[in-house]
Structures are given as structure tokens and as C-alpha cells.
């Protein structure tokens, strides 16, 4: 008899008793026909080598349930079950008849709530680590005495006050460039990236990326892949102080230095004034000791040099050179007068030769210039004779043709009011003004009467 037969004859259950196997088969058939989704916390896990399935137990506040999932389904889910993990299961109930025990046969398993977030963050961390973004050798050292410090955080949280107070107390010489941005919400990663760009553009030496404590979900913006790559590619060192001591984000992993809290991050980038004073005192003491050693060594060296015989009789150091200098001086004293006399005689001879040569070379040009001067004087006296007669004749003709000559003979020139030459009485009007030009002047006249030779 099958389980369907038992279900079909369930109304007759009181008339005929079922065997244990039959009752279990009846229950198994009823349970396996229902597929459910279930949310629970993992309380125990058994994943032993050689088993065909993974066995675990989920619970809530009021109940617990043993579960199992076949190995192929478990591996394809990508979830590594651990105690305390919140998971979401899809499957059906089933009965193991041999033990009379009910199990939940899981078809699929996935992380729920924070567990799912942690799985995504862990996957991103593995991928970035494989790319080398978390490698220790790429992390840069922090500047010992930063002049400008960038701070990227929320402008309203407690973290910004803790950081500024710590920087002012420990190293007040540093200038702070603050980029106040949201640190929670979906758009927080983009604001954080923009804040980093702004403080880097302001010329900071180191950047503090900080925020106060919160839940795992609150810290998710600092697990963003874009922010992680921005931190890794930043041209200046970045120090993170995100959350509390146990909290570790992707930004912490790729940063150049990870501090446990915002205050610890501020302390990491600046020295204490006491440390600076102690360091300066140490440097001063070391410098003083080295200078004293150098002075002692130099003093001993000078004392050794003073003991040498050369310093007792310093003239001996230059004896040979002095003798050589005296010899050269005497030779030079003898040779200079002789050389000057020879040069003087040579110069006198050259001057005589030059004077004679110049006289010979100038005599011929002087004679030629005299001859040319005589010819020029003669030519200049008779050059205009041929033109004087023509000039006198042309002047006589010009005088005869001159209007002034005509006027000197008693004639006159008449011009109208417009300045035109009056050649006919037709150009003259009664009572009009005319100008009469004579040989020795001109007169303005008024026409009283006009007569024509034809009338």
C-alpha cells in the first residue's frame, strides 16, 4: 500500500489501525507536498568529509529545526555556514522513517540581513586583495610633520570634534582642510569620493577618513568598491578611523594606515609636542657630542702638526723656491734693459724707413693733384662762356614778352569781380567792380559806362 492509498482511506483510519511504517509514510507524503521559505539562525553545523549532505540546525526564539542540504546544492549556493549566521532557506519538510525524525530538506540557502552584506563584503575583499590593493608593500609611510591635514567625515558627528580637538592639542601648527560629507546612505560613497578629491586638490599632506561607531549596515558606505579604489589611488597617504576597535571595513584594508577610532587616527598622523621636544633634545645632544668629538680630533691633529720640524723653522719650507725666485729676478733684471735697447734701435730704424716710404708715396699724388687743380681752374673760368650769350638773348626775349613790359608802355590789365581776365567789353556790366592792373600797382574801379568799338 502506498502513501496515497493511506491518504485516500484516511476516513477509515479508526476502523483499521496503521503500522508505524504506514503512519510515517502518511506523514511523509503530507509534509513533502509543501514547499516553504524559512528564515532562521544557524545554531550548529556538521560538514564532515565523506558525507553526501551538510547537516545543520536553525532556530528562532521559540523553536529549532534540524536541516540538511545535499553537497551539490550547498556548494552552488556559495555560502559557508557558521554558527550565529542568519540564513534564508527554501525547501520542504521530510521524515527519516528509520529514526522517526523530521528534517527540513533545503533546496537553496542564502544569507539574510547582515549575513548577506557580510558575504558581499568578504567577496569584494577577496577580489581587491587578489588585485594587490591591500598589499603591504604599496602602503605609503605617513609624513612625520604634516603641514596640511585633510579630514573627510560628517560635519555633524562626534568624530569631527574628536579629530579637531586631538589635532589642535597635539600639533597646532598643522592646517586642517575639512570636507564635510554624508557618511550614511546610498549616495554616501560618492560624497566620500568627492570629499577626498577636494582635500587632495587643496594640497594636503595626509588625509583622515573617519566616522563614529554604528551598526554593520551603517558602515556599509565604507565597504563600497568605488571608494576603495579611490583610497588606493589617492596620491597622498590616507589614514582611516572608522567605527570602533572591532569594526574593519574595505576602506580600512586598502588605506595606508588603519586606526581603531577617529581619535586614534588623528593621533597617528601628528606627533605629540612632548615627543617633538624630546626628539629635538636628542638631536641637540647628538650634535653637541659630534661637534665635541670633531673639535678633539682636530685639536690632536693640530698638535701633531705643530711638533713637526717644518713648523719650528717655517722658512725651510720655502728655501728652494726662494732661491729660484731670486735667480729669476736677477736674470730678469739683466735681460729687461738689454731687450729695451734692442727694441728701441729696431723701432728707430722702422720709423726712418716708414717716413721715407711715406714721402716717396705722397710725392707722386701731390704732383698729380697740382696738375689737376690747374686744369680745373682753367676749365671753370671758360666753362660758361658758351652759355652767357644765349642767356642774355633769352633774357631779352623774355623781357619783351613780359606783361610788365607791356604795362610799362601805358597798357593795363582789367579783371572782373570773379578774378577773370576781361578780354571783351561783353564781360563788363554797368556798376560792377573791376580791378585795373598797371605797371606800378592796381586800382579797384566801378564801371559807369560800357561802349563797343562796333557801335
Q: How confident is the model at residue 362 (pLDDT cuts 50, 70, 90)?
A: confident
**For the segment 34-83, what is each residue's pLDDT rounded down to a tens digit?**
889 998 888 899 998 889 999 999 998 889 999 999 999 999 888 888 88
Q: Cα–Cα distance between 231 and 237 in angstroms, integer?
A: 9
**For the segment 191-214, what is each residue's pLDDT rounded down to a tens digit?**
999 999 999 999 999 999 999 888
pTM of the entire predicted model: 0.44
Which residues are within 8 A (CB) of 90 and not within 5 positions of it... i.e. 6 or more apart?
35, 36, 37, 38, 106, 107, 108, 109
Which residues are within 8 A (CB) of 193 and not within 5 positions of it... i.e. 6 or more apart?
226, 227, 230
* Local structure of residue 17 (DSSP, 8 states): P
Q: Cα–Cα distance between 336 and 328 in angstroms, integer?
A: 12
For the chain, give the percent of residues with pLDDT over 90. Answer: 29
Q: How confident is the model at residue 105 (pLDDT cuts 50, 70, 90)?
A: very high
Considering Cα of 257, then 263, then 269, then 272, what sign does the dihedral take?
negative
Radius of gyration of the chain (CA): 63
Amino acid at each position: 500500500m502506498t502513501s496515497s492509498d493511506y491518504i485516500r482511506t484516511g476516513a477509515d483510519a479508526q476502523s483499521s489501525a496503521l503500522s508505524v511504517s504506514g503512519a510515517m509514510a502518511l506523514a511523509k507524503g503530507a509534509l513533502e507536498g509543501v514547499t516553504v521559505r524559512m528564515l532562521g539562525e544557524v545554531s550548529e553545523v556538521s560538514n564532515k568529509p565523506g558525507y553526501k549532505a551538510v547537516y545543520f540546525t536553525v532556530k528562532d526564539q521559540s523553536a529549532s529545526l534540524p536541516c540538511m542540504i545535499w553537497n551539490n546544492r550547498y556548494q552552488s549556493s556559495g555560502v559557508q555556514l557558521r554558527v550565529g549566521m542568519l540564513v534564508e532557506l527554501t525547501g520542504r519538510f521530510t521524515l527519516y522513517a528509520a529514526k522517526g525524525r523530521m528534517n527540513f530538506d533545503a533546496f537553496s540557502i542564502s544569507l539574510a540581513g547582515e549575513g548577506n552584506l557580510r558575504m558581499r563584503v568578504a567577496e569584494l575583499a577577496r577580489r581587491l586583495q587578489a588585485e594587490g590593493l591591500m598589499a603591504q608593500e604599496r602602503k605609503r609611510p605617513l609624513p612625520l610633520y604634516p603641514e596640511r591635514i585633510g579630514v573627510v567625515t560628517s560635519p555633524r558627528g562626534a568624530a569631527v570634534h574628536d579629530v579637531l580637538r586631538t589635532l589642535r592639542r597635539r600639533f597646532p601648527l598643522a592646517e586642517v582642510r575639512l570636507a564635510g560629507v554624508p557618511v550614511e546612505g546610498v549616495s554616501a560613497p560618492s560624497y566620500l569620493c568627492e570629499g577626498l578629491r577636494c582635500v587632495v586638490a587643496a594640497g594636503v599632506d595626509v588625509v583622515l577618513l573617519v566616522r563614529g561607531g554604528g551598526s554593520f549596515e551603517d558602515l556599509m558606505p565604507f565597504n563600497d568598491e568605488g571608494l576603495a579604489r579611490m583610497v588606493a589611488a589617492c596620491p597622498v597617504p590616507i589614514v582611516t578611523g572608522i567605527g570602533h576597535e572591532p569594526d574593519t571595513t574595505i576602506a580600512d584594508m586598502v588605506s595606508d594606515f588603519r586606526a581603531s577610532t577617529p581619535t586614534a587616527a588623528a593621533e597617528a598622523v601628528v606627533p605629540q609636542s612632548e615627543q617633538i621636544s624630546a626628539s629635538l633634545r636628542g638631536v641637540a645632544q647628538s650634535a653637541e657630542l659630534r661637534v665635541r668629538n670633531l673639535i678633539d680630533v682636530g685639536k690632536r691633529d693640530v698638535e701633531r702638526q705643530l711638533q713637526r720640524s717644518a713648523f719650528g723653522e717655517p722658512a725651510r719650507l720655502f728655501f728652494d723656491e726662494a732661491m729660484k725666485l731670486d735667480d729669476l729676478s736677477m736674470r730678469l733684471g739683466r735681460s729687461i734693459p738689454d731687450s729695451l735697447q734692442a727694441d728701441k734701435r729696431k723701432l728707430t730704424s722702422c720709423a726712418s724707413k716708414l717716413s721715407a716710404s711715406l714721402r716717396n708715396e705722397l710725392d707722386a699724388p701731390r704732383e698729380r693733384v697740382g696738375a689737376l687743380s690747374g686744369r680745373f681752374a682753367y676749365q671753370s673760368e671758360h666753362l660758361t662762356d658758351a652759355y652767357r650769350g644765349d642767356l642774355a638773348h633769352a633774357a631779352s626775349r623774355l623781357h619783351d614778352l613780359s606783361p610788365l613790359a607791356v604795362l610799362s608802355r601805358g597798357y593795363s590789365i582789367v579783371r572782373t569781380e570773379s578774378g577773370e581776365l576781361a578780354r571783351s567789353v561783353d564781360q563788363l556790366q554797368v556798376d560792377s567792380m573791376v580791378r585795373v592792373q598797371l605797371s606800378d600797382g592796381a586800382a579797384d574801379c566801378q564801371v559807369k559806362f560800357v561802349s563797343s568799338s562796333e557801335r
